[in-house]
Structure 1
Amino acid sequence: MATKRGASASTSAAASTSLVKRSRVEDADDASSGSLITVSSSGKDKGLVRTVKRTSGLSDPILSLSGGHAGEILDVRFSPDGQIIAAAGADHTVSIWHTYAPNDHITSLLSHSKAVTCLAFLRAPSSSPLLLSASADGTIILWSPLAPPPTNKVRRFRQHRAVVNSIAPCPTDATIFASGSDDGTICVWNTDERKPLDVLNVGYPVTAVEWAQDGSSLFVGGIDNQIHLYDLHRKQVVYTLSSHTDTISSLRLSPTGSHLLSLSFDSTLKVWDVRPFAISNGNGARGGEESQDERLTGTFTGAAVGGNDSLLVRADWSRDGKRVVSGSCDRTCVVWDMEDMKGRVVYKLPGHRGTCTAAALHPREPIVVSSSADGTLLLGEIEP
């Protein structure tokens, strides 16, 4: 994983606590109304009884999933149907959990020889999900996580010579994915073949990759602080997005394919309009390298990224594109409202005892899951 190169940002305690939505409560279920009766146990509202409307199928509004890892958890993902959760551990394992009750640890996937850095589910039948895991050992493994071992390990992919920091499934072909590594290369793979279809050498450690909507070009972020769109057929940079001042930590395309989310060690979250010919300069000309700054839709704060541990922090869009969620070095999980692209922080969820390394939004319900360097996952519901 790439090392942070700039100064870290901090978030004040006052700013954090003013947005806290997870209050300490003693709770009891009100089964007849589908609500939760809560009694505040701290602050000026101590002893106040109130009813909170439940918004999901979780057994409790907040759940801690622990015991699956012996160290840091570096990434977390929901399966496409939202029924299971996969978590990537620095202990070389991938843990698989049930999202809903009993929220149990189903299994651990064991085959990497170093830390598992990132995960991605592929499009597949709900009964037979497929999961990619990338590792600091330089390899990527395709898993059938619900199959019994050893049949759960489908294939190992070898090409990279250093830590693999990012993997991204192709939006137009369920058998294609891309990976980016500290070795300065991007590989494009077919899940049916052990060797890459293509290798692109960019010359610097790659920390984030994400496909464009057309499935023929790739957004690449790294320690040069920039985001480059590569045409994979011509092997050329189409344009460069330059606004971040430190390493790119995460890239995610919106569900519509129109906007790109970037998170950086400069502790800013940026949203870019990446539609073809979406911008114009003052003379009415469209496109062109000189006008790429106009693609920047907004710059938002709220998550501290690139702290002393220099861990890559992951972000995610909701399936409807109305919210964005991210981890943070201040131990919180941050949720932004993106419906109007104004990036208003609506939740800053505490609970972790270490850097919140990744967060993901459930594909069907208002549920967020977050992973942490403290070795735990937090699963909770938010307002729709």
Structure 2
Amino acid sequence: MADKRKTSSNINGDAASASSSSMVKRARQDEDGARTMQLAISSANDGTSKGLIRSVKRTSSLSSPIVSLTGAHTSEILDVKFSPDGQMIAAASSDRTISIWQTFGENRNIGILSGHAKAVTAITWSPSAPHTQPKLFSSSADGTLIVWDVLAGAKLRRLRGHKGIINCIACAPGGREILASGGDDGKLMLWDPNERDVLDVIDVTYPVTAVCFSDDGGQIYVGGLDNEIHVYDLMRKEIMFSMKGHTDTITSLALSPSGSNLLSTAMDNTVCIWDVQPFAPEPLPGQSKNVRLYRTLQGATTSGYENLLIKSAWSKDGRRVATGGTDRTCTIWNVDNSNILYKLPGHRGTCTAVALHPQEPIIVSASVDATMFLGEIEP
């Protein structure tokens, strides 16, 4: 891995300007073993001296409740993902590079992966590679995919087949490692990352913007410019069923940890959760409503002049979902009641992607402002 290291900023540990409050943090251990952060806050805005001590219950192993990850990129960050073991973060940027960060400890930028000729549009980690030899897959506007040895910072192979921008990439869970990619050329391509040649091609006929495998890897969910989600049987290469509900381009698809529900985000300012179990009911003849639609989540702003493919994610227990937004915030919902739990601000531009940690209550968000925020939430 190239030794191009950047630093992280501890938000609660930085001194504020002289005209605002300043904070000093101290960590202590409660009797019940829970970690608590004490914030000593002093204010001198009007020439008088005031002070208070505020304790904040800690919920994660992060060194600080919120950390800013900056300096690695010179342009928009388009995707962000935790490694399967949660120890690393990968971020893909339109500056043609991928940055790798430590999740815990000093949150260092431990390397930069360079190899694409244009913007890196999407990334996904190999779910089957050992944590001692992590692999990452990336797609790019240069029309290629790259398989990376993350720790060595080396390209294992480049996969060619698409003509034009590749918008999305997904890896089948478990079993044989299969990649799927979708692009502006209207092709859905399947790959064995250990081989250079494409395994199979499905002609979708319109630009593909989001892909996701089913829990058993036998089906693939495809979203694009027709505003619908189509479920393909990979053996027959045929559409099994389609899910209608969005009124604009699908930007992201993500399967729940249980494999029963699919999360979709679109440019229509809605986030939907679908029942994708094999024996879920189908609409009756003449019935317009899609009976597979489980929840429609409101409150996020996912449309805008930038036409960015905003990405969403599930929590490890399937109880919460999160998405970015063009309003510069990250929104987190309770799946059971559709209530908004958090509306997290801080970015100076569209929040393009979010990821939730596979083990702890931690979220990372990425933005067109070329920064990321790593922080803890309530468990």
Same fold (TM over 0.5): yes
Letter in 1 for 2:298: T
Letter in 2 for 1:358: A
Q: Which runs of 5+ in 1 are unaligned?
A: 1-23, 283-287
Aligned length: 349
Q: Is the 8 A contact 1:210 1:219 kept in 2?
A: yes
CA–CA separation in structure 1 for the residues paired with 2:40 and 2:209: 44
**Residue 95 of structure 1, aligned match among 89, 96, 99:** 99
* Structure 1 position 208, deviation (Å): 0.2
**Residue 127 of structure 1, aligned match among 121, 124, 132:** 132
- 1:63 counterpart = 2:53: no
**Residues 41 and 139 from structure 1, CA distance in 2 versus in 1: closer, same or farther, beyond 3 angstroms?**
farther
**Residues 248 and 47 from structure 1, CA distance in 2 versus in 1: closer, same or farther, beyond 3 angstroms?**
farther
Q: Is the 8 A contact 2:267 2:303 kept in 1?
A: yes
Q: How does 1:216-255 map to 2 (within 5 A)?
A: 216-255=218-257
CA–CA separation in structure 2 for the residues paired with 1:380 and 1:67: 18
**Residue 374 of structure 1, aligned match among 351, 369, 374:** 369
SS of the equivalent of 1:50 reads: strand
Q: Is the 8 A contact 1:240 1:289 kept in 2?
A: no
Letter in 2 for 1:29: R
Q: How does 1:31-180 map to 2 (within 5 A)?
A: 31-33=28-30, 34-38=35-39, 48-123=52-127, 124-147=129-152, 149=153, 152-180=154-182
**Residue 346 of structure 1, aligned match among 341, 344, 347:** 341
Q: Is the 8 A contact 2:25 2:40 kept in 1?
A: no
Q: Is the 8 A contact 1:56 1:381 kept in 2?
A: yes
Q: How does 1:3-22 map to 2 (within 5 A)?
A: none
CA–CA separation in structure 2 for the residues paired with 1:117 and 1:200: 21
**Residues 213 and 106 from structure 1, CA distance in 2 versus in 1: closer, same or farther, beyond 3 angstroms?**
same
Deviation readout 1:200-228 (Å, 9 max, x if unpaired): 11100000001122312111000111110
- 1:256 counterpart = 2:258: yes
Equivalent residue number for residue 354 of structure 2: 359
Q: Is the 8 A contact 1:27 1:36 kept in 2?
A: no
* Structure 1 position 175, deviation (Å): 1.5
- Report percent identity of matched pairs: 52
**Residue 304 of structure 1, aligned match among 277, 295, 301:** 301
Equivalent residue number for residue 315 of structure 1: 312
CA–CA separation in structure 2 for the residues paired with 1:247 and 1:41: 48
CA–CA separation in structure 2 for the residues paired with 1:54 and 1:305: 31
Q: Is the 8 A contact 1:279 1:291 kept in 2?
A: no
* Structure 1 position 48, deviation (Å): 4.9
Equivalent residue number for residue 28 of structure 1: 25
**Residues 234 and 291 from structure 1, CA distance in 2 versus in 1: closer, same or farther, beyond 3 angstroms?**
farther
Query: Greater RCO between the two (CA within 8 Å, min separation 6)?
Result: 1
CA–CA separation in structure 2 for the residues paired with 1:298 and 1:31: 41
**Residues 25 and 84 from structure 1, CA distance in 2 versus in 1: closer, same or farther, beyond 3 angstroms?**
farther
SS of the equivalent of 2:29 reads: coil
Q: Which runs of 5+ in 2 are unaligned?
A: 1-20, 44-49
**Residues 71 and 235 from structure 1, CA distance in 2 versus in 1: closer, same or farther, beyond 3 angstroms?**
same
**Residues 144 and 290 from structure 1, CA distance in 2 versus in 1: closer, same or farther, beyond 3 angstroms?**
farther
Equivalent residue number for residue 17 of structure 1: none
* Structure 1 position 232, deviation (Å): 1.8
Equivalent residue number for residue 15 of structure 2: none
**Residues 223 and 40 from structure 1, CA distance in 2 versus in 1: closer, same or farther, beyond 3 angstroms?**
farther
TM-score (norm 1): 0.87
TM-score (norm 2): 0.88
CA–CA separation in structure 2 for the residues paired with 1:94 and 1:319: 24
Letter in 1 for 2:301: A
SS of the equivalent of 2:291 reads: helix
Q: Is the 8 A contact 1:269 1:301 kept in 2?
A: yes
**Residues 135 and 232 from structure 1, CA distance in 2 versus in 1: closer, same or farther, beyond 3 angstroms?**
same
